[in-house]
Structure 1
């Protein structure tokens, strides 16, 4: 085994940090990829912004490489991670893969306190934290999981202590069968280490089909909100329409407001009555392979249909409750609101979604209203289960508004939780009662 004494570790490990830089994957007519930089041409910017040319999301590239069954090289790794700006050379990848690995078997609660673990991986509270990659192998099935961390000891102790969130395939399996049902292999990155090198190595393994306990095939532990993956499917989850490792792409490329997909993620609400958003890929769903231009054209058509639909009337009610008006379309509503203060459709859409007042009015689609919402004979009990306190509201709408600004919700959501009996935000019991 190589010498892992503290004296041999580079000083740069003391202050390593993860950085997530936003890069876009672009496919040109020669099937060559590049990342955006200061020298990018106007033509390339058109492709990057989705104005022309096809884009290949990172997860789709990963699946493409896996399905080809060919050897994975640094070229494939770098293309998948192009959106992040992280790169690795083939020579460095070969060096890392040929280095000795640390094997731990007969795992139990004492493993992380053993001399072997402490001397090679390190201690949780150690002054120097070793970055690297770890591989779990399920002994009875051979199923594998790969992960990485810039602080291996701290990450691994969470598996042994059971403190990681119960998500994905690996954690529930460990909690069911115990840590002794696995063996652990660790690849510490000490020699010639560069920041985020562990992510490149993890991505290399993720492109190997044997790592079937990983639900995501693109590394996703970059810092910052820009690195949150998002997927848009048809509402039956049978077809993937669009995805990105950066949620902002939905805002700036598809012109979908953040509140829309955030609400869909929280409540399962449909967008334009046809689409739904998830933060994880759906296994078995087919991919549309539509260009961004085609998707925008389709969404624009859907938006027009929704706006022109007779059911999309707009009801506005003054916050003080003294004035209620019904409009046949959003255009006629905007005409009225302009008589009060400058107004536009985009802002009105946003206030309808969030439930926040606009020019002194609460605005809502009539198609989203039900009789109980406008029926004065309906009351809503909201019980905070942990404290066993109940507040009664005179309408579903007022019950929904009571959660703002901590929880932005709508009347239909409150009604749905009342009907299905589930706890809203895991804490509130909703009950609709009649006078």
Structure 2
């Protein structure tokens, strides 16, 4: 009969086969092997053991592929790793051109002036990392891990005894550094096992907060600059990691004068989904710097002295909904909200180059459309209502076409349209 093996026994059996074979044995090879099949599937207990072991091998295979991508041995940024390693071996100075070539995979491009400004950015140097005073100093300067305003930047650890260095960056410096200071990060790679073994007392820390207003993640650029320096020998990966593919800096929702911070995120979709703000409206106010609902400001510029509003996302969404209802009482119904005057070609509305508005029927809901039969002029509080009226009278009008005729001043269905 066949002996029932435990997981450990099965694992040892596989280990023996691997060493005896002296060649790499793939996961598929193990699964498809007839001898292994007969050996393992002789009993129900062995079948369960085999299933568990197969799952372990599958997990290891996935992890192996993931690390191949991270280390640049495969995947879409393999060429970036090749460029970085070639430059490090050349021992040539790092220029903005080299940085641009390596970071081309994430569409970041900088000038020499920008690189110089990042290199010369002020930094915070801390020598005694293991003291409470130092950790308090860090929190006072870059915030806490729970702060709504998270400062991006670069940090450099240096071993006081060996001189070995490690550089990394984060869009949330306080959150990232907390993992090092509390020894709560997973000890992988070259640096973290040394930090956990030698402790904080054997390292100095340089923090470079980056609060400029570049329209890309400047911390990735500065990290890449240092990664191309051979002296940073504790870094296994030589290309700045940007797994999300996003180059955008964090976004903030303030009041008009930026004294109160309501919300922040690195993703536009968080504002759109969590706060029920349309993509068009959000993008328009962010780009133009105008005020949403006449009282809120979207921006990428952080204001470190702003008071953080203690409000949940749900309550903030409800607050914005109330503000929208109040704001919409005093604004035209349609989003294309410029008021439009429609008058017949026979009416002369120009006196001394000034527009004269007679007493006109005002259309808000479209119910007054019969007024056009009595009067040759009409005032609409939005382009949408004007289009709605024209369509109700059998004309195939569109927003785009109407705007074109307003801009050109040409007649459209026998009428002249003007913004007022």
Query: Into which bin does the TM-score normalised by the smaller protein fall?
Result: 0.3 to 0.5
Tell me which structure has the larger Cα radius of gyration. 2
